[in-house]
Structure 1
Amino acid sequence: MTDIRKNDAVPVTRDLLRGMPLPHPGEEADKDGRGRVLVIGGSVEVPGALLLAGTAALRAGAGKLQMATCRSVAPHLGLAVPEALVLGLRETAEGGIAADCVDMLCGRASRCDAVLIGPGMMDKQAVADLTAALVAGLDGEGGPALVIDAEALMGLNGANEALCRRGGRTIITPHAGEMAGLSGISREEVEADPPAAARHVAELHRVIVVLKGACTHIVTPDGRMWAYDGGNVGLATSGSGDTLAGVIAGLAARGADPAQAAIWGVHLHGEAGNRLARRGPLGFLARELLAQVPEIMAELSA
């Protein structure tokens, strides 16, 4: 991957991606050869976020999908996503996943190539506890790539040592408000200098930061940075972030290194939005992004 000066941001373009091709499993590969991904999330109030994220992981090329969510909504997700194995977990009174499910989740996660946690999770304290425990349970440089999104991001400040020991195999996908919570500054300060905020958190936690916005910045723990500003305002819609996180997790599951998965995921998500925007810049749905992803990948890989 291109080595750059720390103060430079490399534009994410089609030519850049063609120079960092995604791993291809080959025609003889089976489902396991294409990678196994576990998506943890959802709640009684927002079960559909997990559907979006899990389907996105498959659209990005992962071979096997497992989804873990609240017990009361698991059967419905199993019917909605027949391609997935769906785990029903004990839920809190607030309709979230109970933090004491972490041992079972760590066991599952250790047998996967990538894990995503966060989409659709609502019980703030339970999410924070579960995320911190999951990071600790996946400690060290081995094990799956870990993607952390949405409410789960708020569990990271208590997991710094474990994150650092993961050796840069964690990807976080905050927007400006979530980045403010992680970095201890105001949203206005984040928006005034997104690269600085992203670089600070990437170095502090030894994670790859995907700071979402009109221009999305991808920053590694060693200060390398890429920027993508080719999307459109239609992507600012409910569920869009869930699809992005799922695409990144799917790419990581099939063997892309974490920075590569983040860069490709941001571009695929943005370009999917651009194709839908040809019918009009507003009004397309996050679920419609998913069907665009395989064709864009194929074009870039040709």
Structure 2
Amino acid sequence: MEFDSSTSKLPGMYDVLINFTGEDIRRKFVSHLDYALSIAGLTTFLHEENAVKGRQIQQPILNLCRVAIVVFSKTYSQSAWCLHQLQQIIKWQETYSRHVLPIYYEIQPSDVRLQKGDFGEAFKATAHKTFSRQQLQHGMSRWSHALTKAANFFGWDGSNYRSDAELVDKIVKSVLNLAVLSATNFPVGLQSRMEEVIQIIKNESRDVCRIGICGMGGSGKTTLAKAIYNQIHGTFTDKIFIEDVAQVTQTRGHAHLKKQLLSSVLKTDIHSVKGTRGNMIRERLRKRVLIVLDDVDDHYFSYLEETR
């Protein structure tokens, strides 16, 4: 089984699978959506033709997913691979009652639902190239069912939004509110710990509240941190969730991670934190910000104290 090149290890669960086609879509809309979901603390898997070999999504991948986002674009129906994958996603949804969320990017929802217009013509052409004469009717029927079923789910029409940024923001907020993500399945004892930490944050009167969650590997620290984040992130002006901090600092250094964190919070590229630039950063950080760093060690906290 192959995974997206940005995935360095197999997590216990993917929060969101993003299904799409096209390098142009990947570099523009999908990359922004993936980044925003990751910043919100969700684990994503980019599912495209080059990410997984073969026609079918390998079952372990779908078993690890909570939500599937399908990005319909002008070229989606030109890909037999995408149409086969959509079949598998719909079967997964019907079997396990999972969420499938369609996005219509530069295409009308009715074109997808009814397979009409240029989308419909490409759909027919792809089917004729893919199936034999004996298989054609049955194959097209299965693809058509998957497209119509997906288009009947709640989703987003990109033409209703002023920009990709506004569309992405709306999607992320909606995904975070899904019960399957906000109601984490805790190991025994973690629910009460989550409530205890949230109460500490609420009662904290200082300008800066820093909380460390310690424990042995596999004890549920990341699950607890993500659950706390999902419960309270809406009360903060800005928020960021960075995973695998130890690995990032080991490969790219503490300074890189600090610049990444500041750039995410300030919504701009940060190249220096000294002098006048440093004063500007401190002024712009005078707001309510939630920062969660997963998998850190004492050395990183010492570094932050030395460079504040």
TM-score normalised by the shorter chain: which range applies? Answer: 0.3 to 0.5
Of structures 1 and 2, the larger Rg is shown by 2
TM-score, normalised to structure 2's length?
A: 0.36
TM-score, normalised to structure 1's length?
A: 0.36
Higher relative contact order (CA 8 A, sep 6+): 1
Determine which structure has the larger helix proportion and give its number: 2
